[in-house]
Amino acid sequence: MLLINNLSFFRDDNIIFENLNLSLGNGQITQIRGKNGSGKTTFLKVILNILSSNTGEIIWEGQNVKKNIFKFYNEITYIADHNTSSRELSILDNIKFWKGLSSSNLSDDKIFSLLETFNLKKYLNTEIMYLSSGEVKKLELLRIVLEQKKIWVLDEPYNHLDDSSAEILNQTFVDHTNNNGIILFASHYNPLISKLEILDFN
Amino acid sequence: MFFIKKIFLFFKRELKLFFRNIVSIFSNILFFFLSIFIFVFALGADEQNLKSIGLGIIWSLLVLSSTLSLRKFYEEDFNNGVLVIIHMRGISYELIVFLKILSHFLFVQVPFLISIPVASLLFNLPIYEVYNLIFTFIIGSLILSCLSSMSASMNLLNKANFSIGGIIVLLFSVPVIIFSVGINEVDSDFKSLINILIGMALIFLGISPWASAAFIKLALRNK
């Protein structure tokens, strides 16, 4: 279980969020909603320890995340609001890099089937710079499945996706939560997922 | 074992990016050669004159050329979040910087080694000076990679005036040039000067991963 206790973050004396409490259990999916500038991305970055909170603590499996950061990172994967694929490398090069880096044991057959699902298999040897925004986004989403981590943290995962791809993403989320995974994402999109919980930042 | 594999993967990715960006590496070498030609034409055909100042010019242009690719050191990996993702997969920012310095040395600085003997011919440098130049460049370019890393990480959020990054490298490369060129002076103690250069390289190699990692973390907090 991921526990967030009394978390506050200030920037130049402006309160971005204050005394925030949240618990995320196995199989739970939570969406952060809020208007632009309400602190959704900042909150995700604080959870990932990219930014340091002013007060409060984050506990994962009974241990303070800051003191056991690499243990926590071993359980978590992150999709930012921008694409982390290298523009000059092909889809295959990026996949090989992410797979090796996360020590994933996902089989090649499974990876090819995911590429087929996201309609990316035909661009396997195409450099990322030649793909559309939606296709790059789908590759990013493929990375979270590829990395096989328990906690998924995603910032605007539905951006640039068409309806059918959004539907695939919804199903991927459901499959992950059914396997006791934990998902926390920030988005303006309202997905149709039955057990979705909302954290309102407005 | 997994950790070694991750480091191997890192270098493999850097090698692939090197081959995709090979045109920009050649552009830097071309800049170096054209600048050498301009100097040769500007100074005239006095062989003795060229020989006496050739080494200093070659070193100055090597430093200038290496500042051309400064912006690319971290910029893309920082902007698209690759640095964060690599860090999340268990590699500290300090180690990422160290690996980046090594890959910059291998894939950006080492290609200049090919151009040094040709440039030396244009200035009619004696063979022992060419050997010394190659030897000092191997050590000096490692220092330049460390300086480039610190300068590039310092300017990650500086979108307006990146020339300051080049100024930092040029400023701190002065001692490298002094000791590298000084080796060829008649009364210089070769061994002592080489030891000083190696010492400087080790100090920079020790300091720059911590300094650059601190700048990267600072930039990530303010991104």
The string of pLDDT tens digits covering residues B142-156 is 999 999 999 999 988
- Tokens 């604080």 correspond to A46
Question: Quick one: pLDDT at residue A80?
Answer: 87
Please check whether residue A202 touches B, CB under 8 A. no
Q: Which of B9, B20, B81 is closest, CB to CB, to A100?
A: B9
The HSE-up count of residue A134 (CA atoms within 13 Å, CB side) is 10
Q: What is the end-to-end Cα distance of chain A in Å, rounded?
A: 26
Please check whether residue A100 touches B, CB under 8 A. yes
Token digits for B3?
């950790």
- Tokens 């995700």 correspond to A44
Give the whole-angstrom CA distance, residue B104 versus residue B145: 6
Q: Nearest to residue B63, comparing CAs of B108, B120, B121?
A: B108
Q: What percent of chain A has pLDDT over 70?
A: 100
Q: Name residue B92's amino acid.
A: S
- How do beta strands A63-64 and A55-60 pair? antiparallel
Please check whether residue A92 touches B, CB under 8 A. no
Give the whole-angstrom CA distance, residue B206 versus residue B6: 22
Q: Nearest to residue B183, comparing CAs of B125, B106, B117, B142?
A: B125
Give the whole-angstrom CA distance, residue B95 versus residue B212: 10
Q: Which helix (H) or strand (E) holds B216?
A: helix B190-222
Question: Quick one: pLDDT at residue B217?
Answer: 93
Q: Which of B5, B85, B220 is closest, CB to CB, to A100?
A: B5
- Non-local CB neighbours of A178 within 8 Å, separated by 6+ positions: A27
Question: Residue B89 and residue A52: Cβ atoms within 8 Å?
Answer: no
B33-37, B69-73, B104-108, range with the lowest pLDDT:
B69-73
Question: Residue A88 and residue B90: Cβ atoms within 8 Å?
Answer: no
Please check whether residue A26 touches B, CB under 8 A. no
Token digits for B11?
């270098």
Question: Quick one: pLDDT at residue B87?
Answer: 93
Mutation for testing the A interface, residue in B75, B88, B223 having most A CBs under 10 Å: B88
Q: What is the pLDDT of residues B173-221, one digit of tens each?
A: 999 988 888 887 766 678 888 899 999 999 999 999 999 999 999 999 8
Question: Quick one: pLDDT at residue B80?
Answer: 87
Q: What is the pLDDT of residues A31-50, one digit of tens each?
A: 999 888 888 999 999 999 99
Cβ(A145)–Cβ(A111) under 8 Å? Answer: no
Q: Which of A48, A73, A97 is closest, CB to CB, to B9?
A: A97
Question: Residue A85 and residue B80: Cβ atoms within 8 Å?
Answer: yes
Shortest CA distance from B86: residue in chain A: A101
A40-49, A168-177, A179-188, B175-184, range with the lowest pLDDT:
B175-184
Average pLDDT estimate for A73-100 = 90
Tell me how close the Cα of B217 comes to any Cα of chain A, in angstroms. Answer: 8
Question: Residue A70 and residue B80: Cβ atoms within 8 Å?
Answer: no
Within 10 A of A143 (CB to CB), how many other CB atoms are there? 23
Question: Residue B221 and residue A52: Cβ atoms within 8 Å?
Answer: yes
Cβ(B21)–Cβ(B72) under 8 Å? Answer: yes
Which domains occur in chain A, in start order? 1-75+150-202 (3.40.50.300), 82-149 (no CATH)
Shortest CA distance from A87: residue in chain B: B76
Average pLDDT estimate for A60-88 = 89
